[in-house]
Amino acid sequence: MSRGWLWGALAVLMLAAGSYALYRQLEPTPLPPGILYGNGHVEGTEVRVAAEVGGQVRESMLVEGQPVAVGAPLVRIDPADYEIALKQARADLLTLDAEARGIGDELATWRHHLASAERDLERYRRLGAQGSVSPQRLEEAADRAREARGRVDALEAQLQANRARQEAAAQRLALAESHLAKTVVHAPLAATVLVKAVEPGELVQPGQTLAVLVDLAELELTVYLPEVEIGRLRLGAPGRVRVDAFPERTFDARIKRIDQRAQFTPREVHMPEERVRMVFGVTLAIANPDGVLKPGMPADAWVRWDPDASWPQTLWIPR
């Protein structure tokens, strides 16, 4: 009887020891003081390149995953209609310029006639005052002066209208040149082609997306940290990021932005009890000089808020 009790007590003791050992093994391992952990997905600043003019795509230099330099041609749209519009605008401007020269020449002639007619009229008025010229001759001189004045005024109005039409034609010419230039779509920044949205032969409309570019040189990662920790964080504080694709490598990062408003833990967190915590979004800028990181990669991040703390040789995910 006593022997059975002894064996039972020993079994209970062994079970307790095993449970304690398992607890110690599964107990969450805290991070070193001064370091916080978060996770999220790598994101990039995407730029949607759109057509500014419509037409058929004649050539596409887009290759998904290929880097492009700033100003590099991406897509060529058929320029035929825009070249015709440009030639027409130039012809209209030349026609108006020739018309202006003709009006100017005629205006110069009539201004000469007006000056002569006014001199004659003034002379006849003096002679008329002396009784040396008949009223009929005086009236004829006045009629010639009025006719010359009328022609000068009409030609000046025509010249002014011509100048207004020339200005409008010059604007049409500039617009035609701009439209023609926009048939070649250039990269607005040095980036990588993320999405190729058109193929040669397709008809595109103004505003239609042709490609999506992303700058892989500096990506972002937003992690959500507890409200009680936010007061310790500062912009520019260093961080380190690790992704599943490169488990043995860490990428340098820095705090780029801290949200000004708290929110509930995002829906992506699976445990309901964790979703009721208030958190702040903290955005890290990740250095990616060789372009191995891609938008959408899941990532783990560690932030060192204490400048006196040292990075551990190995970073781990706290349980």
Q: Along the 319 residues of the chain, how does pLDDT read in single tens digits?
A: 456 666 666 666 666 655 545 444 544 466 778 888 889 999 988 899 999 999 999 999 999 989 999 999 999 999 999 999 999 999 999 999 999 999 999 999 999 998 998 888 888 788 777 777 788 887 888 888 899 899 999 999 999 999 999 999 999 999 999 999 999 999 999 999 999 999 999 999 999 999 999 988 889 999 998 888 888 889 999 999 999 889 889 999 999 998 888 777 665 554 555 555 788 899 999 988 888 898 889 999 999 988 888 888 888 788 6
Same domain? For 175 and 246 the reply is no
Q: What is the pLDDT of residue 33?
A: 83
Q: Is 36 exposed, middle or buried (0-12, 13-18, 19+ CB in 10 A)?
A: buried
Per-residue model confidence (pLDDT) at position 26: 46
Shared-domain flag, residues 146 and 193: no
Spatial separation of the C-alpha atoms in residues 237 and 226, rounded to whole Å: 17
Contact 77, 185 (CB under 8 A): yes
pLDDT of residue 11: 64
Q: Is residue 286 part of a domain?
A: yes
Other Cβ atoms closer than 10 A to 70: 10
Give the total number of structural domains in the chain: 3
Q: Three-class SS of residue 203?
A: strand
- The dihedrals phi and psi of 213, each to the nearest 5 degrees, come to -110, 155
Containing domain of residue 126, as a range? Answer: 80-181
Are 304 and 32 contacting, i.e. CB atoms less than 8 angstroms apart?
no
- Shared domain for 74 and 193, answered yes or no, is yes
Residues paired with 301 in a beta bridge: 38, 241
Residue 115 shares a structural domain with residue 242 = no
Whether residue 159 sits in one domain with residue 190? no
- Whether 13 is covered by a domain: the verdict is no
Say yes or no: 233 and 293 in one domain: yes
Question: What is the model's pLDDT at position 139?
Answer: 85
CATH number, domain containing residue 286: 2.40.30.170
pLDDT score at 261: 83
Residues with Cβ within 8 Å of 226's Cβ and at least 6 positions away in sequence, in order, are 277, 278, 279
Task: Note the pLDDT of residue 265.
Answer: 66
55/40 same-domain check: no
Q: The domain spanning residue 194 has which CATH number? A: 2.40.50.100
Q: Judge if 273 and 232 occupy the same domain.
A: yes
**pLDDT score recorded for residue 85:** 96
Tell me how far apart the alpha carbons of residues 54 and 180 are, in angstroms, rounded to a whole number: 11
Q: Are residues 231 and 205 in the same domain?
A: no
Please report whether residue 318 resides in a domain: no
Q: Are residues 69 and 190 in the same domain?
A: yes
